[in-house]
Amino acid sequence: TQLLRGQLEVAQKHNLPLSFHVRNAFADFWPVFDEFQGLTGVLHSFTDTQEQVDAALKRGLLFGINGIATFTKQEWQQDVFRNLPLEKIVIETDSPFLTPHPIRGTINEPRNVTYITKFLAELRGETTESIRRSTTTNARGLFGFS
C-alpha cells in the first residue's frame, strides 16, 4: 500500500488521471484511495460486481471495458456491463492480450476496440455509433485529449 500511496500522491499533486487494475482487492484498495481527494481515473479491465460499480461511481471513477466482456458467459457479469452508465465507460484493448470474440486466440491490437463497441451496443440495445461517440468523449475527458 505504500507504493500505491506514493503514486496517488503524485497524481493528486499533478492532477493526473490514474488507471487502476484491481483484482479481488477492493477491500484493500478503497481505504487507501479514500485517503486522497480529487482523484480521477479508470478501473482498467473491469469485471467486478454491481457492489463495486456502486462504490466506484460514488468516487467518480470510470470503467475500462475490454475483450473480456465479449467472451464472458456469466449472466450477472453481462448485467453489470449492460447497466453501467454510458458516460462512465471507456473502451480498452489490453493489447496484446484479451482479444475480443470472435477473433479470440489472435494477438490483440488497438483496432479491435470495434468488436468491444459492437458487443456493448448489442448488449445494451444501442447503436455502435452512440457507444463509440460516448466512450471516445469519456476517454478524451479523462485523459485531457481534444
pLDDT digits (tens, 9 = 90+) for 17-26: 999 999 999 9
131-134: long-range contacts at Cβ-Cβ below 8 A with a sequence spacing of 24 or more? 131/86, 131/89, 131/91, 134/86, 134/87, 134/89
Range 41-143 classified under CATH 3.40.50.300: no
Give percent of the chain above pLDDT 70.
100
Q: What is the DSSP string of 60-99?
A: T-EEEE-THHHH---HHHHHHHHHS-GGGEEE---TTS-P
pLDDT digits (tens, 9 = 90+) for 42-79: 999 999 999 999 999 999 999 999 999 999 999 999 99
- Say what the pLDDT of residue 96 is: 96
pLDDT digits (tens, 9 = 90+) for 72-105: 999 999 999 999 999 999 999 999 999 999 999 9
Under 8 Å between Cβ of 117 and 135: yes
Residue spans per domain, the chain: 41-143
pTM value > 0.95: yes
